[in-house]
Copies of this chain bind each other. A is one copy, B any other.
Amino acid sequence: MAVVRRPQRIVALAGGVGGAKLAHGLAQHIDPGHLTVVINTGDDFEHLGLLICPDIDTVLYNLAEVNHPVQGWGREGESFQVLAEVQRLGHEAWFRLGDRDIALHLLRRQGLDTGMTLTAITADLATRLGVQHPVLPMSDEPVRTIIHTPEGYLAFQEYFVHRRCEPRMLGMTLSGLERAQPTPQVMAALATADAIIFCPSNPYVSIEPILSLPGVRAAVAAKPAVAVSPIVGGQALKGPAAKMMAELGAEVTALGVARHYGSLLAGFVLDRTDAPLAPAIAALGPRVVVTDTVMNDKAGRARLAAEVLDMVEKELL
């Protein structure tokens, strides 16, 4: 597949794995000056004295092509010497931080200790990893996604990793949102964007926190936005999106995703599996592209990204 560099300025909103894959695909087509990836930080948490930013790191590792090839987190060629000792010392170790991962976290911790913003630290880590495209945390202030369950409120990673998303989701709160602002860098990227892409990330816990920051939803609404459905054949490819949609009473289909984003969308990309839903989605307003949305390898990421960018160019600009 010939890579054609694109002239549009694109902002991709991303959470974890699905977002990281499409961001990596987009980065294969768009110069660093024309693609900015804005990342959810609602999944972040403090653990073992470190600030863990799962979505930032998943995107960085994917853009740097040092991500684990199978699991949806962490590094390839990873070892777990530190965690083994943490366990020997009698501490819980349900969050699987590998040694290479910890190295990056120590540099982040050191940056925070010296007063650097998360944005500046992320830019520094990106440079160290050889990532050229701007990767922006949505905010420099902490926002923490809290999942409401019958057992009470659970911090996101407690729900997601420790409890493996087993408790039923009744709702969610974005703790800290009232004191958080999107960064100036995020707002500048949105203001100068030709189009916004909602990566195939969890609409609730990945994309919603970004959109909930003051001014972001309006900034996004002012631009053509395309969403790639994270739901394929009634399932999430990764993570709890389908389970959450069902528990929150949404239709667990690409149509349900399109309804969730509603009038924000100028375009929608769904999988061939879900082609029968295309007319109903189009009836909601957005242009619709039906294609293979499952990104199995680097070329698959680039191919899907190209199709999304083609739609933006040909139908939305």
Interfacial residues, chain A to chain B (CB-CB below 8 A): 46-50, 79, 81-86, 88-91, 99-100, 102-104, 106-113, 125, 128-129
Contact = CB atoms under 8 A, between A and B. Distances in A.
Contacts of A85: 99-100, 102-104
30 contacts: A46-B113, A48-B106, A48-B110, A49-B49, A49-B50, A49-B106, A49-B107, A49-B110, A49-B113, A50-B106, A50-B109, A79-B81, A81-B81, A81-B82, A81-B99, A82-B82, A82-B103, A82-B106, A83-B103, A84-B103, A85-B99, A85-B100, A85-B102, A88-B103, A89-B103, A89-B104, A89-B125, A89-B128, A91-B107, A102-B106
Nearest to A46: B113
Nearest to A79: B81
A140 to B, nearest CB: 17
Contact of A99 (B82, B110, B125): B82
A249 B150 CA distance: 72
Nearest to A78: B81
A103 B88 CA distance: 10
A112 B100 CA distance: 23
Contact of A89 (B88, B91, B129): B129
Copies of this chain in its oligomeric complex: 2
Nearest to A104: B89
A128 B106 CA distance: 23
A79 B47 CA distance: 22
Interface of A is mostly: helix
Contacts of A107: 48-49, 86, 89, 91
Given A48-B109, A49-B109, A113-B46, A102 B102 contact: yes
A100 B81 contact: yes
Contacts of A83: 103
A50 B46 CA distance: 14
Given A90-B128, A129-B89, A82 B109 contact: no
Nearest to A113: B49
Given A81-B99, A90-B128, A91-B128, 19 more contacts: A46-B113, A47-B110, A48-B107, A48-B109, A49-B50, A49-B108, A49-B109, A50-B106, A81-B100, A82-B82, A82-B100, A82-B102, A84-B103, A85-B100, A85-B102, A88-B103, A89-B104, A89-B107, A89-B128
B81 A112 contact: no
Nearest to A112: B49
A88 B85 CA distance: 23
Contacts of A91: 107, 128
A49 B109 CA distance: 5
Contacts of A82: 81-82, 99-100, 102-103, 106
Contacts of A112: 49
A97 to B, nearest CB: 9
Contacts of A81: 79, 81-82, 99-100
